[in-house]
Amino acid sequence: MIQIAAVIQARMGSTRRPGKVTHFLAGVPMIDHILRRIQHVPEFDAVVLAVPDSPSEAPLAEAASRMGVRLVRGPEEDVLQRFILAGETVQARHIARICSDCPLVDLTLAQTLCRSHLESGADYTITPDSIPLGTGLELVRLDTLRQIARETASPIFREHVTNYIHAHPEQFRQNHVPAPAHLRGKTFRLTVDTDPDLVLMENIFKTFYTPLQPVLKLEDIIPYLDSHPELTQINTEVVQKDWRKEAK
């Protein structure tokens, strides 16, 4: 049985920036950067790209084939069910949830969370620290996702996979793990939702990406952003969507 499967949720549609996951960064589609990055975490026993069951997702299916990862199709809006399908497909006990708009998930944090999650026996593992948006991930038991699916049909919890845990913390064993020092207290926005986010990410990849070193290190990027505040100003005005305020 696979212990941890990294599941990347992705879709071609996006309310703010449709097609962003295939946008080129340093000449490479963003989804390729993400998949390659996640493949570099040895604690992940499998990597699965979970996409909606729609013909419009063909570019993502091609990316999965190109990068040698498993593809799972499921409901577009019921992302929770899509994660459960992904976990069951590869017979994983635990899921690492990763978003396809985050091409700079921190690899050190990923390894630390995986190890601590297995050692603690928790249902859910995250870092409580303030870190750059887009650099984090979360670990959750597949059985915990099944439990959530049994307990709620609310679209707000079916679309936002682990927010039921945050809304009902007393029901779950949570494990909070300190983030690496290079991430803590940094407020940079390193996720891709809008055109300004893409402009910043293009600058970062143009500076750091090379074919010989395709996996960027946050240990290098964070000091660079600290010393180039004009870059981080590019997307500081972008307002992050709050799932709690979404009308369903």
The domain locations on the chain are: 2-238
pLDDT of 56 above 90: yes
pLDDT at position 27 over 70 = yes
- Please report the pLDDT score of residue 244 as a whole number: 42
Contact of 145 with 50, CB cutoff 8 Å: no
The answer to whether the beta carbons of residues 9 and 98 sit under 8 Å apart is yes
CB atoms within 10 A of CB 223: 11
Q: Please tell me the chain's helix, strand, coil percentages from 3-state DSSP, rounded to the nearest 5.
A: 40, 20, 40
Q: Got the DSSP string for 32-53?
A: HHHHHHHHT-TT-SEEEEEEES
CATH topology of domain 2-238: Spore Coat Polysaccharide Biosynthesis Protein SpsA; Chain A (3.90.550)
Burial class (CB in 10 A: 0-12, 13-18, 19+), 207: middle
Asked whether residue 242 carries a pLDDT value surpassing 60, the answer given is: no
Percent of the chain, pLDDT > 70?
95
Q: pLDDT tier at 16 (50, 70, 90 boundaries)?
A: low
Q: Is the pLDDT of residue 65 over 80?
A: yes
240: confidence class by pLDDT, cuts 50, 70, 90: low
Of 80, 206, 192, nearest in space to 144 by CA: 80
Q: What's the mean pLDDT when you consider all of the chain?
A: 94
Number of residues assigned to the chain: 248
Confidence class for position 19, pLDDT limits 50, 70, 90:
confident
Beta carbons of 114 and 96 less than 8 angstroms apart = yes
pTM tops 0.85: yes
pLDDT score at 105? 98
Strand 28-29 and strand 24-25: the pairing is antiparallel
Quick check: 20 pLDDT over 80?
yes
| Strand, helix or coil for residue 19 | coil
Across 159-181, average pLDDT: 96
With a cut of 70, say whether residue 93 has pLDDT above it: yes
Is the pLDDT assigned to residue 243 strictly greater than 70?
A: no
Tens-digit pLDDT profile for residues 151-163: 999 999 999 999 9
The pLDDT tens digits for 98-130 are 999 999 999 999 999 999 999 999 999 999 999
